[in-house]
Structure 1
Amino acid sequence: MVAKIEVPSGLHKDVVSLAFLLGTWEGAGVHDFPGAEKCNFGQEIVFRHDGRAFLEYRSRSWVLDAEGNKVRPLESETGFWRVTSNQHGTSGAREVQFSSVRDDGTVEIWYGELADGKPQIELATDAVARIEGAAPYSGGKRLYGLVNGELMWVGEKSAPEVPLRPYMSGQLKKVLNPAQLVQDVSDLPDDGIAFFR
């Protein structure tokens, strides 16, 4: 079954292929990497556009306890996603560029490709820079995809003493847009009670 993807008005033509990412997504996942705490985490990811040729990205995650309550922040990341002609890959696919900054002082440049015929993106780091004191990190890979209406992602990372391995993955649901909820309410019968009959 092919997911219906809405393309909002005002979205720049260069990022229409990323429209499936737009919105606010919330969910949970697992974090596990040598030298770091293994935990379940909650996450919110927001993809927005302002009409220019990129999507703005923000991700916040927090450690969850056994009952699913927030314990403390885990990681925050912001960045920008673009689609260009393919220069780094080997096929004729559309190339995705993602520049990101994390709260630990890590800056990354990612390149990847949109999958052919499905809402999926695979990325790998091209450049990594860290401020003094940031955790050792030498590169990574990520896979994002829309699966049954949910945003699924998995991240791999490597450090000088740790070869590339999965370390974080999440499953997120789209948060409803309040404007759409208001529109849906306006479709209810005038007395409201008829809806329940």
Structure 2
Amino acid sequence: MPIEIPTNLTPELVPFSWLLGQWEGTGSLWYEGEDGTPFGQIITFTQDGLPFIEYRAESFLLDDEGNKLRPLTVETGFWQIDRPQQDGDVGPGLKSADVVPVLPDAESVEKLRNGDDGFNLIATISHPGGMSENYTGLIKGPVVRMQTANLMRDDISKDYAGSVRLWGLVNGNLMWDWEIADEQGKLHKHASAELRKTGSMNGLDLGSHLFNTEIDSATEPDQESDSKGE
């Protein structure tokens, strides 16, 4: 599948470019008696020229015909290359980033490539119920693996010890797997899904609304441009 590179994409986000856009699909849930329960999901990865991508995942239960039944949850967050923040980066607060990115070209980004021929990443993902996770992991080509590094829970939060997530691009579709740890640290399968791309990252054609019965389900997503970047 051709990978579209936005003209305003900062160089250090090129490794994430295959994720950008909107993805829709279905998966299965295993949790507290839920054994392979089907659900639908819409995930968007967007960027605005800064050195991070914004992540949003909306999930919902499906009926036997594959239509939306009721919402499950929403999670949001930010993904970026794991590197020390410098004076030229955005923040704290509303402090603006320098016009010229801290990593201005591919050569400077390549210096961050690790011994596994990929890039270390960090991701902050927030959940409803007073809980937020910081993940660390690796992005190598069209594959991401991340695990909970630290966890913030409020007094109202449910018990949760952390998780491991795997993402990959397979035959043009985004596939992911999520395992959650119990109190002893043992991982258990929680959910997995396969999503197809339904909108480009330019925001002009986001979403074919796979789960909207008013939209012709035979409609194919727009073809992406055949541009690539290093």
Give TM-score scaled by structure 1 length. Answer: 0.80
Query: Which residue is equivalent to 1:33?
Result: 31
- Greater per-residue helix proportion: 1
SS, match of residue 186 in structure 2: strand
- Greater per-residue strand proportion: 1
Query: Which residue is equivalent to 1:188?
Result: none
Query: Which residue is equivalent to 1:139?
Result: 162
Query: Which residue is equivalent to 1:52?
Result: 50
Pairing of 1:2-41 with structure 2 (within 5 A): 3-34=1-32, 39-41=37-39
- Deviation, 1:135, is 2.4
Whether the aligned pair in 1 keeps the contact of 2:79 and 2:123 (CA below 8 Å) is yes
SS, match of residue 175 in structure 1: strand
Whether the aligned pair in 2 keeps the contact of 1:14 and 1:84 (CA below 8 Å) is no
C-alpha separation in 2, matches of 1:98 and 1:18: 12
Question: Aligned Cα RMSD in Å?
Answer: 2.5
Whether the aligned pair in 2 keeps the contact of 1:136 and 1:159 (CA below 8 Å) is no
Query: Which residue is equivalent to 1:78?
Result: 76
SS, match of residue 18 in structure 1: helix
Query: Which residue is equivalent to 1:187?
Result: none
Post-superposition, which runs of at least 4 consecutive aligned residues in structure 1 deviate over 6 A? none
Count of aligned positions: 177
From 96, 106, 116, the counterpart of 2:131: 106
- The CA deviation string for residues 66-120 of structure 1, in whole angstroms up to 9 with x for no partner, is 1112121112100000013599x874631111001012322000011112xx300
Whether the aligned pair in 2 keeps the contact of 1:95 and 1:111 (CA below 8 Å) is yes
Structure 2: any 5+ residue segments left out of the alignment? 85-111, 207-221, 223-230
C-alpha separation in 2, matches of 1:176 and 1:78: 19
Q: Which has the higher contact order (CA 8 A, sep 6+)?
A: 2
Are residues 102 and 37 of structure 1, via their aligned partners in 2, closer, same or farther at CA, if it must alter by over 3 Å? farther
Give TM-score scaled by structure 2 length. Answer: 0.70
C-alpha separation in 2, matches of 1:106 and 1:54: 21
C-alpha separation in 1, matches of 2:155 and 2:36: 24
Please state if 1:130 is matched with 2:128: no
Structure 1: any 5+ residue segments left out of the alignment? 185-197
